Amino acid sequence: MIDDTSAREQVVRAADELFYARGVQAVGMDAVRTAAGVSLKRIYALFASKDDLIVAVLRHRTQVWDAGLASATERATTARERILAIFDFLDSWFRQPDFRGCAFINTNGELGGSSEAVADAVREQKAAFQAYVARLVEELGGPPGLAPQLAILAEGAQTTAAIAGTPDAAEHARAAAETLLDAAARLQTVGGSH
Amino acid sequence: MIDDTSAREQVVRAADELFYARGVQAVGMDAVRTAAGVSLKRIYALFASKDDLIVAVLRHRTQVWDAGLASATERATTARERILAIFDFLDSWFRQPDFRGCAFINTNGELGGSSEAVADAVREQKAAFQAYVARLVEELGGPPGLAPQLAILAEGAQTTAAIAGTPDAAEHARAAAETLLDAAARLQTVGGSH
DNA sequence: GCCCTCGGAGAACGATCGTTCTCCGCGTTG
DNA sequence: CAACGCGGAGAACGATCGTTCTCCGAGGGC
């Protein structure tokens, strides 16, 4: 037998893939069991219920997202480049063949109305992303109002790419972000109303 | 008894409200029957299956959305004002107490991976919105790349408002749209690189 | 007035869900 | 070596799903 920690990890990883590909409610616990190779008894010893597993999957996705975002932006030297690197990160994500939109948005749409725990986990992740963008904008010296605008571009690109089935939205969002960054820089240098 | 047309309408309207509030899979056909006041036998005479009903609900939502968008933007006189009116329309929508995000995005996240019919209906609606924005941008004389950027702002505002539970995203998206419109106008008048 | 058809209410059916329980084999301890 | 506890496989359970069927009462044609 394997220890609890790696069993948990296997279950979460398998459930994550299945939930993301087919939606949460369409995946039965039997499918999770088969994919993870962990018995149902064990799964229910590690997680109190399917809802618990869903939340654990969302927290795992948060970690994966945070790590991917960090590694995508750390190469850039300036704050502006780091902000634009977010959209390059989205672009490469949208190009993956199994891309099916943002798991947090999808899960929130499916269960956010009934499960408060799910809604909370999703809200937390999006708030963390907003805070990350806000930090970059602050580093840049941009106005505080710029950060939510950039975050909205990133969110919109994700849903647009998921529904259209093309990665174009990343480029469009990146171009819009550049325009917003330019406008902020211009306001900063000339420092006045038009 | 009532005629088929109004029975259909009642079923679609009731299903729409239930699906939007709780998610599609969480609503049984019995609940639709009770809310619509139409017998299950009749429902299955009007719709071949639940999937059929889901698609009919999405088409109905498309009509409601189109009508709301048209009435919100028709008062504005210039193309720029009509574009910005989209975000005012979103703002008033986000403030409704039963707002729970964009039904198309939610349904696509829940079923788009398994049902091609649902994915198609959602794609159609989003493509129509993109085309509508593109028409306004053309009317404005803006560059063609501007339209997808504005559409992405609208999409991002919807998911952000749904998850955060606040209507702030509409204002942020509107402000970003103004910046993008200003930048496009500036390029148009001075007509050159920076 | 009688029959016949049609639609409404909801029971019934098979499938599947989340969750628990049973059975069995294996490894450990005294 | 024998008794025992623990985990794995999967059957079992009650609930609920989408869909169909049965029963029954109301209303129009002869």
Put simply, whether B166 touches A (Cβ < 8 Å) is no
pLDDT level of residue B2 (50, 70, 90 thresholds): confident
For residue A107, list chain B residues with Cβ-Cβ distance below 8 A: 109
Query: Can you read off the two tokens belonging to residue B136?
Result: 């306004």
Query: Who has greater pLDDT, A7 or A173?
Result: A173
Instruction: Report which residue type is found at B31.
Output: A
Closest-CA residue of B relative to A155 is B156
Contact present, B102 and A108 (Cβ < 8 Å): no
Per the CB < 8 Å rule, is B152 touching A164?
Answer: no
Closest Cα of chain B to A108: distance in Å? 7
CA distance B94 to B1: 38
Residue B186's pLDDT band, with cuts at 50, 70 and 90, is confident
pLDDT by residue (tens digit) across B130-159?
A: 999 999 999 999 999 999 999 999 999 999
Q: What is the 3-state secondary structure (H, E, C) of chain B?
A: CCCHHHHHHHHHHHHHHHHHHHCCCCCCHHHHHHHHCCCHHHHHHHCCCHHHHHHHHHHHHHHHHHHHHHHHHCCCCCHHHHHHHHHHHHHHHHCCCCCCCCHHHHHHHHHCCCCHHHHHHHHHHHHHHHHHHHHHHHHHCCCCCHHHHHHHHHHHHHHHHHHHCCCHHHHHHHHHHHHHHHHHHHHHHHCCCC
pLDDT above 50: residue B192: no
Give CA–CA dist B109/B118, Å, rounded: 10
Q: How far apart are CA A164 and CA A162, in angstroms?
A: 6
Q: What is the tens place of the pLDDT at every residue in B42-77?
A: 999 999 999 999 999 999 999 999 999 999 999 899
B105 pLDDT higher than 60:
yes
Residue B25 pLDDT > 60: yes
Q: What is the crossing angle of helices B4-22 and B103-111, to 10°?
A: 80
**Mean pLDDT calculated for residue range A160-164:** 97
pLDDT band at A43 (very low <50, low <70, confident <90, very high): very high
Output the six-digit token pair for B76.
Answer: 């504005």
Tokens 């369409």 correspond to A26
Q: Which residues of A touch B187 (CB under 8 A)?
A: none
- Name the average pLDDT for chain A: 93
pLDDT given for residue A87 in this prediction: 98
Kindly report, residue by residue over A92-134, the tens digit of the pLDDT: 999 999 999 999 999 999 999 899 999 999 999 999 999 999 9
Q: Are B18 and B35 in contact (CB under 8 A)?
A: yes
The CA distance from A114 to B23, in Å, is 8
- Residue whose tokens read 């993956």: A96
Burial B63-99, CB ≥16 within 10 A → b, else e = eebeeebeebbeebeebbebbbbbbbbbbebbeeeeb
- Inter-chain residue contact B105 with A105, CB threshold 8 Å: yes
Q: How far is the CA of B45 from the C1' of D23 (A)?
A: 19
The reply to whether A41 Cβ lies less than 7 angstroms from strand D is yes
Other beta carbons within 10 Å of A30: 9
Which sign, positive or negative, has the C-alpha torsion B100, B102, B108, B111? Answer: positive
8 Å CB contact of B109 and A105: yes
Q: Tokens representing A146?
A: 């710029």
pTM (predicted TM-score): 0.92
**Is there a contact between A25 and B109 if contact means CB atoms under 8 Å apart?**
no
Best to test chain B binding among A20, A61, A106, A149 (most B CBs inside 10 Å): A149
Compute the distance between CA of residue A26 and CA of residue B25 in angstroms, rounded to an integer: 9
Q: How wide is the angle at C-alpha A184 spanned by C-alphas A182 and A189, nearest 5°?
A: 95
A11-15, A165-169, B90-94, B182-186: which range is least confident on average? B182-186
The better pLDDT of the pair A194, B100 is held by B100
How long is the CA B189 to C1' D16 vector, in angstroms? Answer: 64
More confident residue, A5 or A92: A92
Measured between beta carbons, which residues in chain B are less than 8 angstroms from residue A22? 113-114
CA angle B82, B59, B161 (to 5 degrees): 55
Q: Do B107 and A109 touch (CB under 8 A)?
A: yes
For strand D, give the nucleotides within 7 A of a protein CB.
7-11, 16-22
pLDDT tens, A55-88? 999 999 999 999 999 999 999 999 999 999 999 9
User: Quick one: pLDDT at residue B193?
Assistant: 44
pLDDT tens figures, A16-39: 999 999 999 999 999 999 999 999
Nearest-angstrom CA–CA distance, A182 and A170: 18
For residue B194, the tally of other CB atoms under 10 A from its CB is 7
Q: List the B42 CA – C8 C1' distance (angstroms).
A: 9
